[in-house]
């Protein structure tokens, strides 16, 4: 096996909000990629609007820098468990990982998940303890926790002998010793060169390129992104495509791109170890191999963990369908979902008995909510049902997915949290108090026990709590779990909501809409204060007469309606309810549109 010393491929892995993208920003700046006076946005790798709004990375992206004549390819990965398939794919592109851990929070569930995948792949780690400038930073204790985590995950002796750096990604400094403050990220660059092995390849082997990501370019069409494991590829060359079932097709490389900084640049050829994007190969899926046309040899397929949550997506059939969206028909919905299935291997799409309804499965609520939000912004109108967990049958037993749940809350909120987790079948595994005023609670809980809990949790902890969870295998059915306790206030006719009607209904519960909003029969306009559903007339107007009344000049006082985002709406609905999603509106409604048919 030969090595290419001029290349290093590394992935940055971490839990949500531990500073991956900020560190990549600093690495790009210090590599001399930008001019001193160039205007560059913060978290430049978060190029999708949703990523900037939510402050999380959703799609893995790669960039490249040059340091001391070595080309370093860096892959920025998502930190949320729901996007774990992105991490699993990107680990096939690299030869080492940079594990980033918050100096105050320490290793969290997703840290465990991404590290487990990296150790299983045999990748050497570099540990970076970030945010050492935090007032509650405890880097020494966090390092001990990281060692415990490595041992717990059965790391080999070589993997346990990892280098440790302490960084402040916001300032762009790194140091090997806490007693000495860092001046730049040079110690990090040097550690990458010495720790991450150069790409190895068989000089006698033909072309082998595994597809890890798919993209689209308006000029050249579909792009396949991955790493050349063996051989070389040139522009205009004929190649073979080896599919999952072993079938072989042939294609021609029309354009070949390499990476330099944040740009894709056209290159004439690339060889083993390079991360490249290829145009011209259309009939290929993620995990399949582009091989030598004369002697096609496939690489092992990428293994992706099973989905745990599913939802029904259907075309919008409400009375207000087609008012706000451009894509409203079931064939358009089907085409969009099948496109997502090809690009995102973490998503599964299945046909159902109904031609306009599709079952979409994924890793978690957030992953499916992100898909819905992206479709909504593209102009789609659709209806989605309540998220449900996927069960397995084994030896006559029903198995359901379990989650490893870590909750970090101020001490005064422990009672409120434990009181809610109990009925959701959560079993406490560990409780840690670091003496900082915050307590860490660890539970094993069924995945369905978490559906609808996040909003309650934020309310109970006054927004100060942190809640993270990770798939933790399958276990026997844990018993029934109560969902929403309150019923719904349902509009009994189509019309426009009035302040007069809302004023009289406020005593019945919490309203979801404002005066002047258009409503239709069976639309949910509020939450009942009791556990039953209640039909209400929200379009009632005050009768006008030419007689003066003692109440004629009374002003009405309306409580502002409860505004729920997409994730909160998905958590709120029951089995007999749907969420209507359009580019401008989110409407909750009963499945049956007619009042008499509902009861």
Q: Residue 33: its pLDDT value, please? A: 54
Burial class of residue 219, CB neighbours in 10 A (0-12, 13-18, 19+):
exposed
- Of the pLDDT bands very low, low, confident and very high (cuts 50, 70, 90), residue 588 is very high
Q: Which pair of structure tokens corresponds to residue 524?
A: 């949910």
Q: Residue 468: its pLDDT value, please? A: 76
SS3 assignment, position 312: strand
Report percent pLDDT > 90 for the chain: 6
If one counts every other C-beta atom within 10 angstroms of the C-beta of residue 397, the result is 11
Q: Confirm if 308 and 364 have CB atoms less than 8 A apart.
A: yes
Q: Residue 80: its pLDDT value, please? A: 55
- The tally of CA atoms less than 13 A away on the side-chain side of residue 338 is 8
The C-alpha atoms of residue 275 and residue 62 are separated, in whole angstroms, by 9
pLDDT in tens, 60-73: 567 788 888 888 88
pLDDT in tens, 444-486: 988 888 887 877 788 888 878 877 777 778 888 888 887 778 8
Rg (CA), the chain: 27
- Describe the crossing of helices 139-152 and 109-120 by its angle, rounded to 10 degrees: 50
Average model confidence (pLDDT) for the chain?
82
Lowest-pLDDT choice from 3-17, 179-193, 573-587: 3-17
| Helices (H), ranges, 287-364 | 330-343
Q: Residue 547: its pLDDT value, please? A: 66
Q: Residue 567: its pLDDT value, please? A: 83
Regarding beta strands 221-230 and 208-217, do their DSSP bridges make them parallel or antiparallel, or are they unpaired?
Answer: antiparallel
* Three-state secondary structure readout of 392-449: EEECCEEEEEEEEEEEEEEHHHHHHHHHHHHHHCCEEEEEEECCCCEEEEEEEEEHHH
CA-nearest of 354, 336, 454, 345 to 403 is 454
Q: Residue 153: its pLDDT value, please? A: 83
pLDDT in tens, 249-277: 888 888 888 887 667 888 888 888 888 88
If one counts every other C-beta atom within 10 angstroms of the C-beta of residue 181, the result is 12
DSSP 124-151: PEEEEEE-TTSTT--HHHHHHHHHHHHH
- Does the structure show a pLDDT above 50 at 43? no
Q: Which pair of structure tokens corresponds to residue 434?
A: 């670091």
The C-alpha atoms of residue 299 and residue 208 are separated, in whole angstroms, by 7
| Span between the terminal Cα atoms of the chain, in Å | 71
The C-alpha atoms of residue 58 and residue 43 are separated, in whole angstroms, by 13
Q: Confirm if 371 and 340 have CB atoms less than 8 A apart.
A: yes
Q: Which pair of structure tokens corresponds to residue 160?
A: 């346990």
Higher pLDDT, 51 or 490: 490
The C-alpha atoms of residue 107 and residue 524 are separated, in whole angstroms, by 42
Q: Which pair of structure tokens corresponds to residue 404?
A: 């490893």
- Does the structure show a pLDDT above 50 at 45? no
The C-alpha atoms of residue 474 and residue 477 are separated, in whole angstroms, by 9
Q: Which pair of structure tokens corresponds to residue 488?
A: 């719904």
The segment with the largest mean pLDDT, out of 216-220, 247-251, 279-283, 342-346, is 247-251
pLDDT in tens, 329-372: 889 999 999 888 877 777 888 888 888 899 999 877 878 888 89
- Of the pLDDT bands very low, low, confident and very high (cuts 50, 70, 90), residue 176 is confident
- Does the structure show a pLDDT above 70 at 597? no
Q: Residue 383: its pLDDT value, please? A: 92
Taking the CA atoms of 188, 190, 196 and 202 in sequence, report the sign of the dihedral they define. positive
The C-alpha atoms of residue 367 and residue 346 are separated, in whole angstroms, by 9
DSSP 268-302: SEEETT-EEEEES--S--TT-EEEESSS--PPPPP
Q: Which pair of structure tokens corresponds to residue 122?
A: 């045999």
Enclosing H/E stretch for 490: strand 488-491
If one counts every other C-beta atom within 10 angstroms of the C-beta of residue 369, the result is 22
The C-alpha atoms of residue 127 and residue 123 are separated, in whole angstroms, by 13
Q: Which pair of structure tokens corresponds to residue 8?
A: 């290093």
Q: Residue 313: its pLDDT value, please? A: 92
Average pLDDT over residues 198-203: 83
Q: Residue 85: its pLDDT value, please? A: 60
- Does the structure show a pLDDT above 60 at 143? yes
Q: Starting at the edge strand that comes first in sequence, how are the strands of the sheet with 96-102 ordered?
A: 61-67, 70-76, 7-14, 96-102, 125-130, 164-168, 173-175
Q: Which pair of structure tokens corresponds to residue 20?
A: 């991956």
Q: Which residues pair with 433 in a beta bridge?
A: 439
The C-alpha atoms of residue 425 and residue 466 are separated, in whole angstroms, by 20
Q: Which pair of structure tokens corresponds to residue 56?
A: 């999380």
- Does the structure show a pLDDT above 70 at 49? no
- Does the structure show a pLDDT above 60 at 595? no
pLDDT in tens, 81-110: 555 566 777 788 888 888 888 888 888 777
Using the structure block, give the residue that is written with the tokens 């145009």.
279
| Helices (H), ranges, 354-400 | 365-378
* Three-state secondary structure readout of 163-209: CEEEEECCCCEEECCCCCCCCCCHHHHHHHHHHCCCCEECCCCCCEE
Burial class of residue 588, CB neighbours in 10 A (0-12, 13-18, 19+):
buried
Q: C-alpha angle with apex 527: 524 to 531, nearest 5 degrees? A: 115
Q: Confirm if 478 and 400 have CB atoms less than 8 A apart.
A: yes
Q: Which pair of structure tokens corresponds to residue 451?
A: 């559906």
SS3 assignment, position 6: coil
Q: Residue 39: its pLDDT value, please? A: 44
Torsions phi, psi of 113, nearest 5? -65, -55
Q: Confirm if 275 and 260 have CB atoms less than 8 A apart.
A: no
């Amino acid at each position: 096996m030969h090595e290419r010393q001029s290349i290093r491929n590394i992935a940055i892995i971490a839990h949500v909000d531990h500073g991956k993208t900020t560190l990549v920003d600093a690495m790009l700046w210090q590599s001399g990629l930008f001019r001193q006076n160039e205007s560059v946005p913060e978290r430049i790798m978060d190029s999708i609007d949703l990523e900037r709004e939510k402050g999380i990375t959703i799609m893995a992206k790669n960039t490249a820098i040059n340091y001391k004549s070595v080309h370093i390819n860096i892959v920025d990965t998502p930190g949320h468990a729901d996007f774990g398939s992105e991490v699993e794919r990107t680990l096939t592109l690299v030869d080492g990982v940079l594990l980033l851990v918050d100096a105050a929070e320490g290793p969290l569930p997703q840290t465990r998940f991404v590290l487990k995948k990296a150790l299983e792949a045999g990748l050497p780690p570099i540990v970076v303890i970030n945010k050492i400038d935090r007032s509650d930073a405890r880097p020494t204790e966090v390092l001990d926790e990281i060692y415990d985590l490595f041992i717990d995950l059965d790391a080999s002796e070589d993997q346990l002998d990892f280098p440790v750096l302490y960084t402040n990604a916001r300032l762009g400094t790194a140091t090997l010793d806490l007693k000495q403050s860092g001046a730049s990220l040079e110690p990090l660059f040097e550690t990458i060169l010495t720790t991450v092995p150069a790409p190895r390849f068989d000089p006698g082997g033909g072309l082998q390129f595994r597809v890890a990501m798919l993209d689209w370019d308006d000029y050249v069409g579909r792009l396949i992104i991955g790493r050349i494991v063996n051989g070389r590829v040139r522009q205009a060359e004929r190649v073979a495509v080896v599919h999952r079932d072993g079938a072989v097709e042939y294609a021609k490389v029309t354009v070949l791109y390499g990476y330099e900084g944040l740009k894709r640049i056209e290159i004439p050829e690339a060889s083993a170890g390079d991360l490249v994007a290829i145009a011209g190969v259309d009939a290929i899926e993620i995990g399949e191999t582009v091989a030598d046309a004369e002697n096609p040899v496939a690489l092992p397929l990428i293994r992706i963990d099973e989905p745990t949550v599913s939802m029904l997506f259907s075309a919008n059939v409400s009375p207000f369908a087609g008012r706000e969206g451009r894509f409203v028909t079931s064939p358009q919905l089907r085409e969009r979902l099948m496109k997502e299935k090809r690009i995102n291997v973490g998503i599964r799409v299945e046909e159902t008995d109904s031609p306009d309804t599709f079952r979409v499965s994924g890793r978690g609520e957030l992953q499916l909510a992100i898909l819905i939000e992206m479709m909504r912004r593209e102009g789609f109108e659709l209806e989605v049902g309540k998220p449900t967990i996927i069960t397995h049958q084994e030896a006559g037993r029903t198995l359901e997915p379990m989650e490893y749940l870590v909750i970090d809350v101020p001490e005064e909120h422990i009672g409120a949290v434990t009181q809610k987790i109990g009925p959701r079948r959560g079993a406490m595994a560990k409780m840690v108090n670091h003496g900082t005023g915050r307590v860490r609670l660890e539970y094993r809980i069924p995945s369905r026990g978490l559906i609808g809990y996040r909003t309650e949790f934020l309310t109970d902890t006054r927004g100060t709590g942190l809640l993270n969870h990770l798939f933790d295998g399958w276990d026997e059915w844990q018993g029934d779990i109560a969902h929403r306790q309150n019923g719904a206030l349902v509009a009994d006719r189509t019309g426009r909501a009035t302040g007069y009607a809302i004023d009289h209904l406020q005593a019945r519960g919490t309203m979801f809409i404002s005066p002047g909003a258009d409503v239709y029969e069976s639309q949910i306009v509020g939450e009942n204060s009791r556990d039953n559903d209640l039909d209400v007339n929200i379009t009632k107007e005050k009768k006008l007469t030419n007689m003066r009344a003692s109440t004629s000049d009374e002003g009405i006082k309306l409580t502002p309606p409860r505004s729920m985002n997409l994730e909160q709406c998905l958590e709120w609905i029951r089995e007999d309810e749907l969420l209507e999603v359009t580019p401008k509106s989110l409407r909750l409604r009963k499945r049956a549109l007619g009042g008499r048919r509902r009861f």
